Homo-oligomer: A and B are copies of this chain.
Amino acid sequence: MTRKRKSDESAGTKKAILDATQQIMCNEGYAAVSSRRVAEVAGLKSQLVHYHFGTMDNLMLALFRRAEEDFLARQVRSLTSTSPLRSLWKESLQQADAHLTIEFIALARHSEAIGNEVRRANETTRNIHSMIIAGALERADIKGAPAPEVVAFFIAALSRTLGTEEALGTSLAHEAVHTFVEDLLNKLEPASNP
């Protein structure tokens, strides 16, 4: 049982480190993530961060992959929802992810390893969204509707910008944008049984 207990502790420590990293990313930005700061938040020694994850770059990658798994799981739920478009829009607005996503995208511009992962994940998500949207547009049968990939891009652009500006403390036109999207959703996906 020694092996099991040790590996449990290892998993617990790893989770604590990842949780702390995520918290710092969201609240203070990627630049504030350091082995010492992470250890402080997690209540550990900073050397443990290096023991479990090696370099800081590797820690960031591990966090991104964990976040991506949660994220994809929720996307798949949207795929099977009775109102996939609404579900997709709601998921895209989720702030917890939004802040983390913003930081990773900013970080990706300057770290090749992260950049590769973020690019791949971004494209995967865009493709999944396009599929969900294609089905919804087909069902709604709207004439002159833009291509699904364009709608997917719009959803990503609007939700990211709403999230970014909210974080910035401004909300100019936000309510009008929300209303506009809601109206569109009502046309594309009329409310049925909840």
Contacts and interface: CB of A to CB of B under 8 A. Distances in A.
Interface in A158-194: 158, 160-162, 164-165, 167-170, 172-174, 176-177, 180
Which of A130, A157, A158, A168 has the most B CB atoms < 10 Å from its CB? A157
Contact of A32 (B29, B110, B152, B180): B110
Interface string A125-155: 0110010000000000000001101101110
A131 to B, nearest CB: 13
A14 B131 CA distance: 52
A72 interface: no
Contacts of A180: 146-147, 150
Contacts of A32: 110
Contact of A160 (B109, B147, B161, B167): B161
B119 A168 contact: yes
A130 B173 CA distance: 10
A105 to B, nearest CB: 6
A149 to B, nearest CB: 4
Interface string A90-131: 000000000100110110111000010011001100110010
Contacts of A108: 168
Interface residues of A, number: 46
A79 interface: no
Nearest to A124: B172
A104 to B, nearest CB: 10
Interface of A: 28-32, 99, 102-103, 105-106, 108-110, 115, 118-119, 122-123, 126-127, 130, 146-147, 149-150, 152-154, 156-158, 160-162, 164-165, 167-170, 172-174, 176-177, 180
